[in-house]
Amino acid sequence: MGMNRSVVAVPARLQSSRLPNKVLAEIGGQPMIQRVLERCREARGVEAVVLCTDSEELRHLAEGWGFPVLMTSADCSSGSERIASVADELMALGWAAGKPMPGQTAVINVQGDQPFIDPLVIEAMVAEFQRRDPVPAVVTPVYRLKPDTVHNPNVVKTLLAHDGRALYFSRSAIPHVRDVDPADWPQHTTYWGHVGMYGFRGDVLAAWDQLPASPLEDLERLEQLRLIEAGHTIATFEVTGTSLSVDTAEQLEQARAMAG
């Protein structure tokens, strides 16, 4: 019993703590958020690409580019919480005809600050949901880390079980290789980086506000730890290359250079 419908939700706000108005920063002649939405629209097998925002300015722009918009509260603490707050409406967009079936709807969360998101990664995520039985609660992409990024706290690491389940996410290098110099750890195991993109089974997303508070999420500042602490299984699949997220002025310059 695989997934029947997939919808992409792009949460975005203007009040970014580190780089205000970043989603409107111009990259390659387009506002970043427009690039993200249009790349998502290139993915096949997706019923709709929806902007979820608390900003009237962003709503006006996105509708002008031809994207549906769902308005959310301004006090969402994470992108997942933002899309979860409109989960029912998102699923209704995924099922243009007939009653939405949350357990058979995948809601794919693509962050508004990933201007180089690859539509093929979205298609691969749709395929993961369709081929897995039972359908996982959450699916997320991972990639092999280069040795020089293993100890960088800005790069989120994923600790994988042998079957590809995510056991933990951290800004620290995990696993710890005992009795080995940390610089040499990558010679002993594969370190996995996390692409900040999630596919949620609709019923899991709709129950987001019932997840217990997560002390680990608060410590690491990683929203996916709330799911792990609540006992949800997060399945992963490997992609090549990371998708640059723009959080700092330096990364914005990097993105502009990449866009040429």
SS (H, E, C) the chain: CCCCEEEEEEEECCCCCCCCCHHHCEECCEEHHHHHHHHHHCCCCCCEEEEEECCHHHHHHHHHCCCCEEECCCCCCCHHHHHHCCHHHHHHHHCCCCCCCHHHEEEEEECCCCCCCCHHHHHHHHHHHHHCCCCCCEEEEEEECCHHHCCCCCCCEEEECCCCEEEEEECCCCCCCCCCCHHHHHHCCCCEEECCEEEEEHHHHHCHHHCCCCHHHHHHCCCHHHHHHCCCCEEEEECCCCCCCCCCHHHHHHHHHHHC
| Cα-only R_g, the chain | 18
Q: List the one residue out of 148, 137, 132 whose CA is nearest residue 198.
A: 137
Contacting residues for 85 by C-beta, under 8 A, at least 6 apart: 72, 73, 76, 209
Mean pLDDT throughout 232-253? 82
Q: Mean pLDDT across the chain, nearest whole number?
A: 90
Whole-number pLDDT of residue 187? 96
Residue 1 has pLDDT above 70, yes or no: no
Q: List the one residue out of 53, 49, 82 whose CA is nearest residue 66.
A: 49
Whole-number pLDDT of residue 244? 66
- What are the pLDDT digits (tens) for 34-46? 999 999 999 999 9
pLDDT band at 78 (very low <50, low <70, confident <90, very high): confident
Rounded Cα distance between 129 and 181, Å, is: 39
CATH number of the structural domain spanning residue 136: 3.90.550.10
**Full residue range of the structural domain in which residue 64 is found:** 5-259
- What are the pLDDT digits (tens) for 113-167? 888 888 999 999 999 999 888 889 999 999 999 999 999 998 999 999 999 999 9
Is the torsion defined by CA of 172, 128, 80, 43 positive or negative?
A: positive
Rounded Cα distance between 91 and 101, Å, is: 8
Whole-number pLDDT of residue 255? 79
Q: Is the peptide bond before 119 cis (omega within 30 degrees of 0)?
A: no
pLDDT band at 91 (very low <50, low <70, confident <90, very high): confident
pTM > 0.85: yes or no: yes
What's the structural domain count of the chain? 1
5-12 and 48-53 beta bridge pairing: parallel
Q: List the one residue out of 91, 102, 165, 160 whose CA is nearest residue 128.
A: 165
Side-chain-side CA neighbours of 188 within 13 Å: the count stands at 13
Max CA distance (Å), the chain: 59
